[in-house]
């Protein structure tokens, strides 16, 4: 790595974070896990990111957007940042992803225009039309603010895929344990239930550190319970009952 006192086409960590819409903490994390290190340093040791570093950062963020875990991105970045062929492939994939999202947005826009046309024709749309439009909006609507989304992404990056998978397995075990307690009618004042609720909240805190982020996650679950539970081995009714039981256990603690 070269030493430099600063030059054109170079950015400090704060400048790069601000320009690219990421946090300094994220860039530090990328450095710690070997994904992105500053290409140069000043004589006093401060990071200076180069044009090549910017292109690598773009590839990292694009691969994240496409759903690739951070643990797998390093291998995907084996080709140099200046390799135009691999960069073109990545951009094409990203464009395809964005086009699909744009199609979803356009479908919602068309549905809203249809509702407006019905109203302009002095005909009130049927409740089913409003309901189906709301369902489409909910799919697109993100319950988290940009800051909360950034926090969640950073927490996942810090945890790593192994710890995340372990947390999922632990959560599934806690769901099964809780459902047994609900079925058996175990009083929420039972000490074992307090321990169970504490373990549940510890897993949640791994991903949601702030109360506002936790509240957003709860809101997302409440609004999309059926869709979110569709791929789970438990029904939305079972999970709703379990969460109500959990809330009662929390009030007893």
The pTM of this model reads 0.43
Rounded Cα distance between 137 and 105, Å, is: 8
pLDDT digits (tens, 9 = 90+) for 22-41: 888 889 988 998 889 998 88
Predicted local distance difference test score (pLDDT) of residue 128: 73
* Kind and range of the H or E run holding 88: helix 84-120
pLDDT digits (tens, 9 = 90+) for 152-178: 667 777 778 788 888 888 988 999 999
Domain with CATH 1.10.1660.10 in the chain: 2-62
Q: What's the chain's Rg over C-alpha atoms?
A: 24
pLDDT digits (tens, 9 = 90+) for 130-144: 777 776 666 555 545
Q: Is residue 82 a contact partner of residue 55, using CB atoms and an 8 Å limit?
A: yes
Predicted local distance difference test score (pLDDT) of residue 13: 92
Q: Is residue 236 a contact partner of residue 175, using CB atoms and an 8 Å limit?
A: no
Domain 2-62 sits in CATH at 1.10.1660.10
Residue 3 binned pLDDT confidence (cut-offs 50, 70, 90):
very low
Torsion, Cα of 170, 176, 180, 182 (10° steps) = 90
Strands of the sheet containing 2-3, edge to edge, are: 2-3, 40-41, 47-48
């Amino acid at each position: 790595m070269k030493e430099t006192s600063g030059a054109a086409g170079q950015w400090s960590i704060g400048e790069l974070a601000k320009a690219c819409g990421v946090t300094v903490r994220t860039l530090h994390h990328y450095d710690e896990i070997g994904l992105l290190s500053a290409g140069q340093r000043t004589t006093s040791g401060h990071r200076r990111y180069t044009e090549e570093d910017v292109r690598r950062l773009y590839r990292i963020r694009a691969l994240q957007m496409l759903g690739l875990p951070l643990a797998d991105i390093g291998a995907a970045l084996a080709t140099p940042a200046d390799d135009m062929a691999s960069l073109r492939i990545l951009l094409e994939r990203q464009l395809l992803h964005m086009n699909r999202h744009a199609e979803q947005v356009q479908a919602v826009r068309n549905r809203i225009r249809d509702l407006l046309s019905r109203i302009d024709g002095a005909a009130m749309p049927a409740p089913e039309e409003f309901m189906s439009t709301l369902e489409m909006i909910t799919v697109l609507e993100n319950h988290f603010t940009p800051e909360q989304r950034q926090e969640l992404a950073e927490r996942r990056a810090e945890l790593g895929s192994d710890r995340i998978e372990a947390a999922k397995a632990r959560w599934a075990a806690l769901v099964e344990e809780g459902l047994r307690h609900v079925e058996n009618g175990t009083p929420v004042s039972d000490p074992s239930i307090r321990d169970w609720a504490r373990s549940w909240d510890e897993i949640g805190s791994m991903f949601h550190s702030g109360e506002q982020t936790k509240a957003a996650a709860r809101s997302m679950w409440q609004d999309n319970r059926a869709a979110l539970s569709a791929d789970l081995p438990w029904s939305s009714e079972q999970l709703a009952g379990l969460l109500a039981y959990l809330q009662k256990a929390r009030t007893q603690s």
